[in-house]
Structure 1
Amino acid sequence: MSHTIETVQFCNPGMAWAIAADIHFPPHFDKHSQYPAIISAHPIGSCKEQTAGNVYGAALAKAGFVVIAFDASYQGASGGEPRFIEEPGQRVEDFRQVVDYLVTLPYVDSSRIGVLGICGGGGYAISAAKSERRIKAVVSITGVNFGRLSREGFAGHDPLGTLEAIAEQRTVEARGGQARVDDVLPPSVEQAMQAGISDIDVLEATDYYKTARGHAEHGPTRILFSRRAAAVDWDAFHLAEVLLTQPLLVVIGDKPGGFGAYRDGQEIYGRAASKDKELLVVPNTSHYELYDQPEATGKALERVLPFFKKHLSA
């Protein structure tokens, strides 16, 4: 069975720009009925058309859910200037704005809203759920705590030196100088290997984003360097042992890589206050295989679909 997709833009009261999203409808959708809804959040440097939409969004819709895959503010087809900002506070606020939009749709049951995030989107989904009580169930697919990654790998394990460099660059831009936009990935796998890069996450991310496998116009993997300071001073899991009480499913692969999803998944599973929580470690599976490879995503969905059906049932 196929499903239909509607592209929307919405600007809730108080928003300065519009959020762009794709709504994936279940087969035989009836606008006069009410459905459980799932927010699907894309990875860092990604967009709604990639894994959040064309893999997990599509599968969840075919299973009977209304799914909304949205572009983060400053990214994709959503508004916000300057572009390519990866600001955790705004990323979390985006979830609240999406929930605000969902509760206005007559075919969405506002008491049955869940969230799924992939990679950085998984970390943001967890962070949002801690304080957004309208979210009733949480799934993290190879989720990454972007704050930890920003202090470690993305900072060369020198967060203070990185903050000093960010401060200098922000001053340059405030005085009218040229912005610095970094591509967080090499141009190709071949060039990465020639440069001596061997980390599985970097190589597989490059294969996903820089080839026809996963390339999308609005998924450029670029970040504005001068606006990275907030991420260094942020933690997706802060107070999780107090505030993260919703049912939680954490899915990770057992092949650790430099982006740290295996480590982060184990940590949040242990720390979450959720009384109903599950950890799925998919064997012989890497971070990026859980983006789009049928065997890996199939094993994940074998747990994701019944999890949401259980916790978002009428």
Structure 2
Amino acid sequence: MATAAINFGTVLHAQDNPWGLVYEQAITENIPGKVNIHPVKYNLDGIEIAANVYTPADYNPDEKEYPAVIVAHPNGGTKEQVAGLFAQRMAEKGYITIAADASYQGASGGEPRHTDKPYFRINDIHGMADYISKYPGVDPQRIGAFGICGGGGYTLGAAKSDKRFKAVATLSMFNSGRVRRNGFMDSAMPTIQQRLKQASDAREKRVTTGEIVFTGDMNLTDEEIEKLPFDLYREGAIYYNRTHVHPNSTFRYTMESLMDLMTWDATDQIDLINAPLLMMAGDKADTFYMTSDAFEKASGTTDKELFLIPGATHIQTYHIPEYVDQEVAKLTEFFAHYL
């Protein structure tokens, strides 16, 4: 059977960059007077977090205070992919930025590996704020939060209570709770109880035998990718498994995580967000229904904006230069006004 032809475009390799960065125009060396990257580690409630801090070209903490932006990565992603891209681009605009691997994922600590629970993902965002607020040169009164895909949903979750964030932005927001519960496009609602039972059984197996049950593996052939029904899954498989592969990035997560994921929703009590809110999405994204729903329910702030990128799908907002340029310009305008 013939393999379907897929146009991968630019293929990036982690081993080609000293920091494992897999996005176009990534930093390859730290040069005085340029944006620099600083790998750091810190403790968050007993878990060692691996993060990258980006400092702007004019960085001089002895003479100037800088606004800061934390960047939360997508589900299955790492700090070296799209989160790193936006952290670098915003550092180019004068911000100190941080992108960290989620607890239990990437290069961060935590067992069992690939645990994906809202509490931890939200606490990771609080933790990035903890760390960056004390970083030399950061003005702790000017911290913004930016989340991409699943990181966007968790950023909304963190911003409900964390008033250190003076402005909040998302890109291609993905409501992990809704999708894990109802299925993508709400297509799996008849099997909710069945999947909760599977998650409960997975927890019981871990407790009684120590065995961890995983789900979400997505090692597909080109032909299988071509046949996926949604742009998100098809283009996501290409982005994460072909063009922007990182060894720490995986769709895999513990089945037990569904017990927490399926009972959480990014829009629960979203009216608690009273900071300025910017939500960006491609107008061709099949995930747009999640951004639209959250934006409508975010009634606690009157200072909110929905910004659509014409022609862009969900994954295309991560890496297509013309779309990324529009998004960075909008983020720069937004954070410059409020930070």
TM-score normalized by structure 1?
0.92
Divergent runs of 4+, >4 A:
none
1: CA distance, partners of 2:213 / 2:252: 10
Secondary structure in 1 aligned to 2:306?
A: strand
Name 2:275's counterpart in structure 1. 246
* Structure 2 partner of 1:149: 179
Give the whole-Å Cα distance in 1 for the aligned partners of 2:295 and 2:205: 42
- Indicate the residue corresponding to 1:292 in structure 2: 319
Contact kept in structure 2, 1:247 and 1:277, CA below 8 Å? yes
- Segment of structure 1 superposing worse, 67-76 or 297-306: 297-306
- Give 1:65's aligned amino acid: Y
Match of 2:290 among 242, 248, 264: 264
Separation of aligned partners in 1, 2:102 and 2:81: 13
Q: How far off its partner does 1:187 sit? A: 2.0
| Alignment counterpart, residue 66 of structure 1, candidates 85, 96, 100 | 96
Residue 185 of structure 1 aligns with which residue? Answer: 218
CA RMSD of aligned residues (A): 1.6
Q: What secondary structure sits across from 1:131 in the alignment?
A: coil
Query: In the alignment, which residue of structure 2 is the partner of 1:113?
Result: 143
The answer to whether the Cα contact below 8 Å between 2:77 and 2:249 also exists between their aligned partners in 1 is yes
- What is aligned with 1:198? 229
Question: Is the contact between residue 138 and residue 246 of structure 1 (CA under 8 Å) also seen in structure 2?
Answer: yes
Pairs within 5 Å for 1:203-218: 203-211=234-242, 213-218=243-248
Aligned residues of 2:34 and 2:58 also touching (Cα < 8 A): no
Shift of 1:177: 5.4
Residue 214 and residue 16 in structure 1: after superposition, are their counterparts in 2 closer, same or farther (change >3 A)? same
Q: Equivalent of 1:170, from 176, 182, 203?
A: 203
TM-score by length of 2: 0.85
Distance 1:246 1:184, change over 3 A: farther
Cα deviation, 1:271-292, whole Å, max 9, x if unaligned, reads 2121211101111110000111
For 2:65 and 2:34, how far apart are their aligned partners in 1?
19
Q: 1:136 to 1:188 in 2, by over 3 A?
A: farther
Q: Distance in 2 between matches of 1:64 and 1:238?
A: 34
For 2:49 and 2:104, the matched residues in 1 are separated by 9
1:104 aligns with 2:134: yes
Aligned length, in residue pairs = 302
Output one character per residue of 1:156-177: Cα deviation in whole Å (capped at 9) or x when no partner.
3322110001111221222215
SS at match of 2:245: coil
Residue 41 of structure 2 is matched in structure 1 by 9
The one-letter code matched in structure 1 to 2:122 is V
Looking at structure 2, the residues matched to 305 and 172 of structure 1 have their Cα atoms a distance apart, in angstroms, of 48
Identity %: 33
Shift of 1:189: 3.7
More divergent stretch after superposition (232-241 vs 61-70): 232-241
Asked if the contact 2:78–2:101 (Cα under 8 Å) also holds between the matched residues in 1, the reply is yes
Q: Unmatched 5+ residue regions in structure 1?
A: none
